[in-house]
Amino acid sequence: MNILNVWKFKGGVHPPTKKMAKDSKIENAVVSKHFYIFLAQNSGNPPKPIVAAGDEVKTGQKIAEADGFVSVPLHSPVTGKVVEIKKEKHPVTGRPADLMVIEKTREDEWTKLDPVKPYTDYSADEIKKRVLDAGIVGLGGATFPTHVKLAPSKKVDTIILNGAECEPYLTIDDRMMIENSEEICKGGVAIAKAVGAQKIFVGIEENKDKAIEAMKKAGAPLGIEVVVLPAKYPQGSEKHLIFAITKKEVPSGGLPMDVGVVVDNVSTARAIYRALQYGEPLIERGLTITGEGVKTPKNVIARIGTPISDLLALSSPLEEELRVIMGGPMTGIAVENIDTGISKGTSGITVLTKDIVEKPAETNCIRCYRCVEACPTNLEPYLLYKQFKKKMFNEMKETHLMDCIECGSCAYVCPANIDHVKAFKTAKLVVRTLGRR
C-alpha cells in the first residue's frame, strides 16, 4: 500500500526532522558496573521482588514476579550481586518507588527461558505464556504488558507493526528495521498466531527509505504488507496509525481491539521473536543517543538499568549546560539525575543545548485556536486548559480529557508558550484518583 492510498488524519504538526543518528549502525553498549532498576517498568502493577540484598543473580534470572494480570516480571541484566533495594524518586512518575541496585561481579552466566524451540512450533497459548515469562512490554514507550494485548476479549483480524517513529530525533526503530527486519517480521507472525489474526501490516513513514525496502523484502515471503505513511507527527500514535491503514476509527474511550486490531512496536515484535527462538527475557533494549548536545549521535543496545551517564559518555557530550531528556523532545521527560538507569520504556536519550530548550515564559491564552487545529484527536486544548486552571476536573473529563494522547502538538504551536501536556497529565492523575474513591 503506497502513500496515496492511506487515510490522513486531521491536525498534527511538522517539527523539524533531526534524525542525526539515522546512518549510525546499532552498537552494543559497554556493560556497566552498577545497574539501577526501578521495579515499576510497565503500565499497571509493578512486579514484586523475589531477591534480596546480598543475593547472587545470573543474567536473565527472574528478580521480580508479576503482580496480577496487568504486570510483568523483571530479570537481572547481568551476573552479579543485589546491593540493595531502596526507595528513590521515579524518573517518570516523580513519586518514591522501589529501586533495585545490582553490581556486576563477573561475565554473563545465563538463565534462559525453557523450553527453546523454533518460533513456528509454539501454540498460541505457549506464545502468550512465553511473552509474559520474558517480561515483554511495549517498547515504543507506553510499556503496556504485551501478553495482555495478546489476550483480547474481542475478535482480532489485523496486526499492525508500528515502525512510524515520528519523534523528530529518534532513529532506533528505523535502524532496527534496516538491520533486523527478518526477526521483526517473524515476531509479527508470532503475534498474529497468538491472537488468530489473518492480516499483518507494517506502518513506516515515507522518510525511511532503507527501512521500507528491508521490511518489504523480509515481509513479502511471510505475507506481511508494508504501508508507507506521510511523515507527520504524531503518525505513530496507535489510533492514528490504525485509521491511516484500515480506515477504522477507535471509539472514544475504546481500544484497538474494538475495531479488530492489535498494534505492537517493531522492536516489541523483535523481542517476542527472540524470546521464542532463543529463550531470551527482556533484559536489554535499543535506544538512540542524540541531540545537539552530543558530538557523536548513536544507536545502541543497552541493558535495562544502565546509568544514563554511562550512555552519554559513549556520545561525547558537549562541555556546556545541557538538558537531558529520556525519550524524544515531543513526548520525553526531563532527566533530573543522569545516574538514573534506563528502563524498558526508554527509546532514546536526547541531549539539547540551553539555547534550544529555553523559551519565553507562559502568557495568557489569546484564543487563536491553533491548538484546536493541531490536535489530532479533535479536542479543544484551550478549553481543557481553562478548566484545569479552575480545577474543574469533572468538566475536563466531560470535555474528553482522557482521549488526549499527550503528543504535545498543542504546546508545540502555542504562541503563549502554555505547557498543555504537563497540565493534562496532572489532570488525568486527579481524575483517576477521584474515580477510585
Query: Ramachandran region of residue 12, left (φ > 0), alpha (ψ -120 to 50) or beta?
Result: left
- Higher-confidence position of 8 and 324: 324
Q: What is the mean pLDDT of residues 348-361?
A: 91
Residue 305 has pLDDT above 90, yes or no: yes
Q: Is 366 exposed, middle or buried (0-12, 13-18, 19+ CB in 10 A)?
A: exposed
pLDDT for res 437: 57
Residue 103 has pLDDT above 60, yes or no: yes
Residue 354 has pLDDT above 80, yes or no: yes
Which strands sit side by side in the sheet containing 48-49, from one edge to the other?
48-49, 62-65, 74-75
Residue 209 has pLDDT above 70, yes or no: yes
Residue 4 has pLDDT above 60, yes or no: no
From the list 304, 358, 347, the residue with the least C-alpha distance to 21 is 347
pLDDT for res 9: 85
Residue 414 is labelled as binding a ligand: yes
- Average pLDDT of the residues of the chain: 95
Q: What is the mean pLDDT of residues 115-132?
A: 97
Per the listing, cell 507494517 goes with: 202
Q: What is the 3-state secondary structure (H, E, C) of the chain?
A: CCHHHCCCCCCCECCCCCCCCCCCCEEECCCCCEEEEECCCCCCCCCEECCCCCCEECECCEEEECCCCCCCCEECCCCEEEEEEEEEECCCCCCEEEEEEEEECCCCCECCCCCCCCHHHCCHHHHHHHHHHCCCECCCCCCCEHHHHCCCCCCCCEEEEEECCCCCCCCHHHHHHHHCHHHHHHHHHHHHHHHCCCEEEEEEECCCHHHHHHHHHHHHHHCEEEEEECCCECCCCHHHHHHHHHCCCCCCCCCHHHHCEEEEEHHHHHHHHHHHHHCCCCCEEEEEEECCCECCCEEEEEECCCEHHHHHHHCCECCCCEEEEECCCCCCEECCCCCCECCCCCCEEEEEEHHHHCCCCCCCCCCCCHHHHHCCCCCCHHHHHHHHHCCCHHHHHHCCHHHCCCCCHHHHHCCCCCCHHHHHHHHHHHHHHHHHC
Per the listing, cell 523450553 goes with: 115
Residue 404 is labelled as binding a ligand: yes
Residue 387 has pLDDT above 90, yes or no: yes
The amino acid present at 186, given as its one-letter code, is K
pLDDT in tens, 149-195: 999 999 999 999 999 999 999 999 999 999 999 999 999 999 999 99
Please report which confidence band the pLDDT of residue 436 belongs to, taking 50, 70 and 90 as the band edges. Answer: low
pLDDT for res 94: 83
From the list 283, 407, 288, 280, the residue with the least C-alpha distance to 347 is 288
pLDDT for res 10: 86
Residue 3 has pLDDT above 70, yes or no: no
Q: Which residues contact 204 (CB under 8 A, 6 or more apart)?
A: 163, 164, 177, 211, 212, 215, 226, 227, 228, 229
Please report which confidence band the pLDDT of residue 35 belongs to, taking 50, 70 and 90 as the band edges. Answer: very high
Please report which confidence band the pLDDT of residue 253 belongs to, taking 50, 70 and 90 as the band edges. Answer: confident
- Higher-confidence position of 359 and 188: 188
What whole-number percentage of the chain has pLDDT above 90? Answer: 90
Q: Which CA distances in Å does 436 have to 83, 384, 429, 430?
A: 36, 22, 11, 10
Q: How far apart are CA 369 and CA 380, in angstroms?
A: 8
pLDDT for res 359: 82
Q: What is the mean pLDDT of residues 131-140?
A: 97
pLDDT for res 70: 95
What whole-number percentage of the chain has pLDDT above 70? Answer: 98
pLDDT in tens, 42-97: 989 999 999 999 999 999 999 999 999 999 999 999 999 999 999 999 998 888 99
From the list 11, 116, 27, 45, the residue with the least C-alpha distance to 373 is 11
Q: What is the mean pLDDT of residues 421-426?
A: 91
Cβ proximity of 163 and 173 under 8 Å: yes
Residue 347 has pLDDT above 90, yes or no: yes
Cβ proximity of 305 and 282 under 8 Å: no
Please report which confidence band the pLDDT of residue 302 belongs to, taking 50, 70 and 90 as the band edges. Answer: very high
Q: Domains, the chain, ranges and CATH?
A: 3-21+115-278 (3.40.50.11540), 370-436 (no CATH)
Q: How far apart are CA 386 and CA 423, in angstroms?
A: 10
Residue 166 is labelled as binding a ligand: no
Please report which confidence band the pLDDT of residue 6 belongs to, taking 50, 70 and 90 as the band edges. Answer: low
Residue 368 is labelled as binding a ligand: yes
Please report which confidence band the pLDDT of residue 5 belongs to, taking 50, 70 and 90 as the band edges. Answer: low
